[in-house]
Chains A and B, each alone.
Chain A
């Protein structure tokens, strides 16, 4: 549950920005080794999650319409290829 929520909250953009920040900090050479090791680990974990995002593929597109009661309805949509 918690993990699922974390996955949903994962923002590629934020993760990438954080990785850039980590690299900058590490390259500044102004941090202690143990802090650097912690940053390295954080960076690598974010990197793995970004990598996983890059490997996702979507085969279907969705379609959003309103049903008879006027409620939003999301369903898969086949795009005819002709």
Chain B
């Protein structure tokens, strides 16, 4: 039975066979085409078709590869992909499993760049009137860049050398690859929400045009535009120009240069300050000297000297007057003294002792009273007679009136 000789395969077997043949016969290859029907699945895998005028092929790019991509492809973009021909068993479809995706030639990137630049320029995002002035002495600087790599280290080194007290706040972000632009934009917004930075530097070190692409993406350019804190862009090397540079308040040619532009030189500031200190001290000294000189000249002036003269005249007069007053008082005292002396002599003449010396005597009754009349005496009364020298007790024999 010929029918018995038929080999009947299941669908899975057929697909498996096709898969084996296809996947073994095609080496890893490069294909160029235009991207269409691009979708980014929530898993992070990218699905799209590559087409040209005559045909198309389904492509899948798994997340593990997609995340290394320099920029997100867009529908209509010419790209070159590297991948393997694979078969998706469930759908029975062959496809390209893409490992690398590059924009085909610089032309595509240049066009995307020019398109966005024109659009944003038309909106006025690069206008001078929106440029904010940078603070001359920022206290805190926010730095949006990769936490690893030379850019951050260079910026920290330069900033610290110029002003050791500068406060640096890093917003660590990936600076290339899918999603980098969103994350950098978010970091700029975060610093604006945080508020406590005076200036923001957004940048990265050098790389290829694709490496720097995140800085040409609209989402980041708009975040820089809406930042209320001044932004310095510092992307790549001197020759690299990005749209972020156009919208930033200042473009620095390199990250190190950004730190130079952002951070003042402490040595210059110290010399400015000491110059000001000298000027303030010397101007106050000048003013004090001048005031002192005025004071001296006032002291020497005729008016003040005349006053001085008048004062010394008065003082002399006073002295003189004082002397004369003294003399008068002394005279007065002397005359009193003389008078007193005269009176003393007169008093002395009245002293009873002097009378006794001349032979008189004083008689006293026993109670000590002086007897001035015989009437006070009776016969037999005891009296005392007081002489110039000595006393005598006597008895009255007879009284004679």
Contacts and interface: CB of A to CB of B under 8 A. Distances in A.
A44 B190 CA distance: 39
Given A51-B273, A74-B194, A79-B153, A64 B169 contact: yes
A19 B274 CA distance: 11
Q: For chain B, what secondary structure do more than half of its interface residues adopt (helix, strand, loop), or is it mixed?
A: helix
B280 A58 contact: no
A67 B5 CA distance: 68
B340 interface: no
Contacts of A29: 287
A61 B169 contact: yes
A54 B269 contact: yes
Given A23-B279, A64-B171, 12 more contacts: A16-B137, A16-B276, A20-B276, A29-B287, A33-B287, A33-B288, A55-B165, A58-B164, A58-B166, A61-B170, A63-B169, A81-B153
Interface residues of A, number: 38
Contact of A26 (B156, B166, B277, B287): B287
B307 interface: no
A23 B283 contact: yes
Contacts of B165: 53-58
Contacts of B171: 63-65
Contacts of B152: 79
A36 B279 CA distance: 13
A26 B287 CA distance: 9
A54 B284 contact: no
A68 interface: no
B194 A64 contact: yes
B388 interface: no
B280 A13 contact: no
17 contacts: A13-B135, A13-B136, A23-B283, A26-B284, A36-B287, A44-B280, A47-B277, A54-B269, A56-B165, A57-B164, A62-B170, A63-B147, A64-B171, A66-B190, A72-B194, A77-B172, A79-B147
Contacts of B279: 23, 26-27
A23 B152 CA distance: 40
A4 to B, nearest CB: 15
B120 interface: no
Interface string B166-181: 1111111000000000
Interface of A: 11-13, 16, 19-20, 22-23, 26-27, 29, 33, 36-37, 40, 43-44, 47, 50-51, 53-58, 61-66, 72, 74, 77, 79-81
Nearest to A62: B169
Contact of B284 (A12, A36, A81): A36
B266 interface: yes
Contacts of A47: 273, 276-277, 280
Nearest to B140: A62
A57 B139 CA distance: 12
Contact of B191 (A33, A51, A64): A64
B21 to A, nearest CB: 49
Interface string B282-293: 011001100100
A15 to B, nearest CB: 9
